[in-house]
Amino acid sequence: KAGVTQTPRYLIKTRGQQVTLSCSPISGHRSVSWYQQTPGQGLQFLFEYFSETQRNKGNFPGRFSGRQFSNSRSEMNVSTLELGDSALYLCASSSGSLNTEAFFGQGTRLTVV
C-alpha cells in the first residue's frame, strides 16, 4: 500500500507570495490533517478534512486554508506569505474514525525569503 505522498518536497517563496501544497492520502483513507512543524513551536495542528469538509481547525490565521477533493487528495494554501511561515508542513491521513492512527507524509519544506 502506497504511503502518504506530499508534493513538492521543497519550496522557496518570496514574502507576500502565495503557495499551494498537495497531499495524497493512503488509498481508502478519508481524513487528511495538516500540521506545521517549526523548531520553536514544534508540531501544530492546522486543520483536518474529512469527506471534502473541514471537520476541525487549529489556531492559525485565515491566510492558511485548505480543501479536499472527492478522491480525498488535499491541498493547503498559504496566502501573503510571511517569513515566519517557513516550516515543514506535514500531512497525515487516517481512516477518519476518531483518534485512529495517523499516517504521516515526508513533509514539504517551505522557505520564505
Partner 1 sequence: AQRVTQPEKLLSVFKGAPVELKCNYSYSGSPELFWYVQYSRQRLQLLLRHISRESIKGFTADLNKGETSFHLKKPFAQEEDSAMYYCALGTLGGGADGLTFGKGTHLIIQP
The residues of the shown chain that bind partner 1, judged by CB under 8 A, are 3-4, 33, 35, 42-45, 47-48, 55-58, 90, 98-99, 101-107
Minimum Å gap between C-beta 97 and partner 1 is 10
Q: What is the CA radius of gyration of the chain?
A: 13
Please say which residue, 3 or 16, places its beta carbon nearer to partner 1.
3
Please say which residue, 9 or 15, places its beta carbon nearer to partner 1.
9
Cα of first residue to Cα of last residue in the chain, in angstroms, is 37
C-alpha of 50 from chain center: 13
Q: What residues contact 50, with CB distance under 8 A and at least 6 apart?
A: 30, 31, 32, 68, 96
Please say which residue, 13 or 96, places its beta carbon nearer to partner 1.
96
